Amino acid sequence: MLIGAHVSPAGGPAKAVERGVEKHCRAIQIFNQNPRAWKPTVYSDEQVAAFREAMARSDVDALLIHAVYLLNCASDDDEIRSKSLTSLIASLRAGAALGAHAVVLHPGSAKAGEVRPAIERAGATIREALAESEGCALHLENTAGTGGTLGRSFEELAALFDAAGGDARLGLCLDSCHLFASGFDIRTAKGLSSVLDDCIAEVGPNRLGSLHLNDSQTPLGANRDRHANVGEGELGDDGCAAFLSEPRFEGLPCVLETPGEDRKGPTAEEIEHCVTLRERGLAARR
């Protein structure tokens, strides 16, 4: 498992690698554009070369690009959906240029509308984005189920894959906090294994591609997306150890999106704690 963190790309993507190295990351995740603005970032040839050189010199083995939260591929507002499409295409093209493992996307929200038409709208947007890009995978992230967000269940995720055309570049990013908030009890190795069995039965055996490890501030099934630092929430150290040591997660990038002690994100100490928890989890499975 490639354990790492979401880091800032301020100053260019090569700087994100430096920040990842400082935190002892094996994987990093970035936003490829200002998360509060619609204008996509296009990296220059020099920025791409500097990033690839920084990666080659580092122990960071994987990059995830997280599409910004402004996107709603399922919107019934044509302007929002058009902006979401433009941004998603830019993210996928950036991912291809930088050699990213994948772009991670929150599938969208039906808001107060019906879910099935929203899934079809999201699928059409995603399908077009894939057609207008090449080379980089797109991982749909499961959601906590707040409001009308899509992807709260494996059935919805499977429907989204189908609506998007079932492209081989489509994959799944599983978030531990979102799973728990959606009612999946993953606090034990046995519970997590059962949940994964159900997941694979619905979405297929080859879709799982990346992970987010976040503890949850809220109880099982609360449908609220509130991240806690590793071991400090409802999952606790035992639940996080089970997640980190799951055999079917072996080799996948696993990124922390936790608030950190000072609300500045994951620290090197928290990542080291995850390495320790993973070893504990593996020992318990032997």
**By CB neighbour count within 10 A (0-12 exposed, 13-18 middle, 19+ buried), where does 207 fall?**
buried
Q: 66 a known binding residue?
A: yes
Q: 6 a known binding residue?
A: no
Task: List the beta strands (DSSP E) in 67-183.
Answer: 102-105, 138-141, 170-175
Q: Can you say how many angstroms the Cα of residue 273 is from the centroid of all Cα atoms in its chain?
A: 20
Spatial distance between the Cα atoms of 58 and 66, rounded to a whole number of angstroms: 21
Q: 270 a known binding residue?
A: no
Q: 257 a known binding residue?
A: yes
Question: Which residues on adjacent β-strands are paired with residue 253?
Answer: 2
Backbone angles phi and psi of 162, in degrees to 5 = -65, -45
Q: 101 a known binding residue?
A: no
Q: 141 a known binding residue?
A: yes
| 217 Cβ contact list (under 8 Å, min separation 6) | 224, 226, 227, 228, 233, 234
Q: Can you say how many angstroms the Cα of residue 123 is from the centroid of all Cα atoms in its chain?
A: 18
Q: Give the DSSP H/E element, type plus range, for residue 133.
A: none
Q: 227 a known binding residue?
A: yes
Q: 273 a known binding residue?
A: no
Q: Pick out the residues of the known binding site.
A: 66, 106, 141, 175, 178, 212, 225, 227, 257
Q: Pick out the residues of the known binding site for Zn(2+).
A: 66, 106, 141, 175, 178, 212, 225, 227, 257
